[in-house]
Amino acid sequence: MSTEASRGSIGGTQEHVRHVRLPADRRTPATARAIVRAVLAEAGLDELLNEALLLTTELSTNAVVHAGTELDIEVVADATGLTVTVTDFAAGPIENVPSRPSSDEAEITEVSERGRGLLLVDHFASRWGTTHQPTGKGVWFRLDRKSAAPDEARPERVQLPDELAKTASGPIPSAGALTTLMHVAPEPYADDALADFAAELLGRVADMIGASGGIVRLDRGDGNGPQVLARYGRPPRPHEELLRVPIAVNHPYSAELELDAAPSGYAEPLAALVAERLSLHVENDRLRRADLRRRSWLTFLAEASELLAQSLDVELTMALIPQLVVPRLGQWCAVHTTDEWGRLQLAAATHADESALPELHAVLKETGPESMVARLREASRTGTHVPLGAPMEGFAVPLVARGQRLGTLAVGRHQRHRHDPDEMSILEDVARRAALAIDNARIHDERRRVAHTLQQSLLPPVLPVVEGIDFAAEYVPTGDAAEVGGDFYDVVALPDGRWLVVVGDVSGKGVQAAAVTGLVRDVIRVLVGDGKPLPEVLGRLNDTLVERGGGRYCTLAFAAVGRGRADRLDVELHLAGHDRPVLVGADGNARFVGSGGTALGLLDSISSPAAQLSLRPGDALIFYTDGVTERRRGRELFGTDRLRDAAAPLARYSADVVAARLRATTLGFSPEPPRDDIAILVLRNDANF
Amino acid sequence: MERPELSIAIQRTTDEAVLNLAGEIDMLTAARLSSTVNEVLAADAPPRIVLDMSGVTFCDSQGLGTLVVLSRKASHAQSLLLLTNVGDFLLRVLDITGLRSALMIRNGQATG
């Protein structure tokens, strides 16, 4: 045991001080009492004896029992009263410190023998509090001389102004303590640096001005109300004077420092100093969070835009929007679209709480002047956002794209708070993007329908049935259903009784290519109907394309087929830049026939050499477009040789089998969807076979 | 610091045991008080056990808790634990802690 005793003189009053270190022993409380007894006798404060002995015993007993370490007892007495501090050397929080059991809690049979200690300290002490040091923690109490208050009750500071002046002025802050107060700084890498910093600062200032408790409250304006950022000591008693200092921060934050001490002496300026230090760091926190929020909103918008942009399906886009919005931007979301008569139709709705979905649907079904639907119509009509009332609170944003009203986006408020201005503008942004996505998907849908209709109109619906000639065709449009390819085929009756087989490919894709395809087909039909010879038809067609084709050109396989002698089919074949057809003999021999001429639409004059073929019964002539030969597998092309080799084994099969097999072989060549149209036309001499 | 921590003198009659307590009751001495009363109860519990507190100069919350526990033990043993000559300050502490109602206190009465 070590003992120091000293007498000092501060501010003219004599101080009696004892500082003793005692072991963790059951005799220690008695020893502590003896020390306090001695100091009180020296200072002439015998009137405080009962309370001082009791409280000293309670604190030292707690230290022995709970901390189990050695303890330091510091006893300081002056003319006005006594302060005793009991410090232990155990790390960790002080147990039971904030306990202030209410009277009804004192169910005697259940209360342990311990635990009343701090209740007694709280009752008898003029002030008390805790100190935290790196080595351990301490509890102190102050007993003021009662001379001014003969009443035995605990002096009520508020009622005793004289007493107040003496007690509340507290100890004079030392330069060292002040320096620490200024040098406390947040840990840059701590998880919750602001809270730690606030707790440290609060603890220090409370120690310095002798406050028995304190709170820093922070309202981040996020709808959660004021939250305790840091707490120290015990909660304030009701009706007691508190020192409150607002912490200056910008909207929507608000914060306050509250200390359980009278606002006098050094307390007020010190509290103001701490509030000022806190305000800097709280403001910093506000800016950092606002920045993070903005950044996360930007990411959200970017992701939403990407998702929406990828979706070219109207239904899918509608279903996607509520998934993007809930729960991030609201509790629920409903998307309505405007139909062709301008009525709003529910397209998709979702609620963060699955069980609330039926209620949402019920509210959306209501009609009447005050109904949700009426509000949505208002939003759509006025083109501005409209608040929605209970029971499904929120607001509605119109969906407008390219000046067209597409519908509305209704979003429910968050569970705990309303939408803040940031969120409102994010929602409007989402609505704009969603509207564009819906519009894009609609346009895409329309285009796909046009493409399909065009394509269908360009193909001959049914091939003619001709005695002795077996026709069959296969056509596979490109993988992208919205694109019209330039491939076409046709079988036309010639005035001389022969049949004209046309397989062609107009350069390029899309609507212009389709228009040229239509032109080519119609010009051929008109010219051959007049009985023009084939080379002249090709020449006239070339002239037309050079004039009217808009820079597009066309390759054609052109074959007039007629019955020849002895069951043979005579074929007059012209190729205008087109791939040579494959002739598959009934004997299984496959070869390319014809010779290439000039593609149409490129040059003013063309050459179109004619090849005369004679098909024996069972021979088949296979026409195709470059969608077949240029079908890709990685860098490899299907090619003409592969086609010829695939065709040879098909000898003697009927035309539709040959066409179907070749189509399957071509498609099976690569897992990718075709990039170009695939057209295959087969004609076969069916005579007596 | 040398002084009697707690002395306990027992006077027994047929219907009561009077324990004259002198000194301080705290974490050091409460156990001894507890075991003494337990012995009295165990031997042949008298209808009444009187704790004369006139010599008690100090009693902390742990001491009070011990008294409450003893009072309950006594009533389990069909006996009554009675406190006499309880000091004013101790009465206040009993009020504050709400323990007064859990103890039988007869002050200013001659109890033989």
- What is the per-residue DSSP string for B6-31? EEEEEEE-SSEEEEEEEEEESTTTHH
- Region of A336 on the Ramachandran plot (φ > 0 left; ψ -120 to 50 alpha; else beta): beta
Tell me, rounded to whole angstroms, the distance of Cα A73 from its chain centroid: 58
Q: If we measure between CA atoms, which residue out of A350, A381, A346 comes closest to residue A364?
A: A346
How many distinct structural domains can be found in chain A? 4
H helix or E strand, kind and range, residue A75: strand A71-78
Asked if A114 lies within 8 A of B24 by C-beta distance, the reply is no
Beta pairing, strands A2-10 & A404-412: unpaired
Euclidean distance between CA atoms A41 and A35, whole angstroms: 10
B5 touches chain A (CB under 8 A): yes
- The reply to whether B14 falls in a domain is yes
Report yes or no on A13 lying in a domain.
Answer: yes
Sign of the Cα pseudo-torsion (A109, A111, A113, A117, in order): negative
Q: Where in the sequence is the domain holding B72, given as residue range(s)?
A: 6-106
Q: Which residue has the tokens 């304030």?
A: A236
Tell me the backbone φ, ψ of residue A23, rounded to 5 degrees.
Answer: -80, 165
Q: CATH number, domain at B43?
A: 3.30.750.24
Asked if A351 and A264 sit in the same domain, the reply is no
Same domain flag for A433 and A472: no
What's the pLDDT at A665? Answer: 93
Cβ-based contacts under 8 A for chains A and B = 70
Integer-rounded Cα radius of gyration of chain B: 13
- Is A1 in the B-facing interface, judged by CB distances under 8 Å? no
Dist CA A499 CA A436 (whole Å) = 51
- DSSP reduced 3-state for A571: strand
- Same-domain pairing of A366 and A285: no
How far is it, in rounded angstroms, from Cα A573 to Cα A567? 19
A635 CA to centre of own chain? 40
Let me know whether A212 and A269 are in one domain.
yes
Residue B1 forms part of a structural domain: no
With residue A472 as reference, give the H or E element that holds it: strand A469-476
How far A155 CA sits from the closest chain B CA (Å)?
15
Say if B111 falls within a structural domain: no
Question: Is B85 among the domain residues?
Answer: yes
Instruction: Report the alpha-carbon distance of residue B67 to residue A187 in Å, rounded.
Output: 50
| Residue A521 and residue A380 share a domain | no
Question: Min CA distance, A103 vs chain B (Å)?
Answer: 8
* B29, part of any domain: yes
Q: Would B30 be classed as within a structural domain?
A: yes
- Axis-axis angle for helices A193-209, A267-310 (nearest 10): 170
- Does A141 lie in the same domain as A188? no
Residues A277 and A232 reside in one and the same domain: yes
Q: Which of A289, A323, A358 is the last residue of a domain?
A: A289
Q: Which of B60, B68, B101 should we substitute to test contact with A (largest number of A Cβ atoms within 10 Å)? A: B60
Q: Which chain A residues contact residue B64 at CB under 8 A?
A: 113, 116
Tokens of A41: 């006798």
Tell me if A118 is assigned to some domain: yes
Alpha-carbon gap: B66 to the closest alpha carbon of chain A (Å): 7
Out of A289, A322, A350, a domain closes at: A289
Strands A243-247 and A254-259: antiparallel
At residue B21, the pLDDT reads: 93
Domain-located, residue B112: no
pLDDT, tens digit, 9 for 90 and up, residues B30-68: 989 999 999 998 888 889 999 999 999 999 988 988 999
Over residues B2-28, the mean pLDDT reads 86
Q: What is the mean pLDDT of each run of 10 residues along chain A (689 residues)?
A: 52 74 89 91 89 92 85 89 89 48 39 65 86 79 72 40 43 73 78 86 84 87 84 76 86 87 78 89 88 87 85 83 87 89 88 88 86 88 85 88 88 81 86 89 84 73 86 81 76 91 86 82 88 89 87 90 89 92 92 89 87 92 91 89 92 91 92 85 84
The residue segments making up the domain with residue A54 are 2-159
Is residue A372 one of the residues assigned to a domain? yes
How many separate domains does chain B show?
1
Please give the Cα distance from A521 to A476 (Å, whole number): 19
> What pLDDT is recorded for position B9?
92
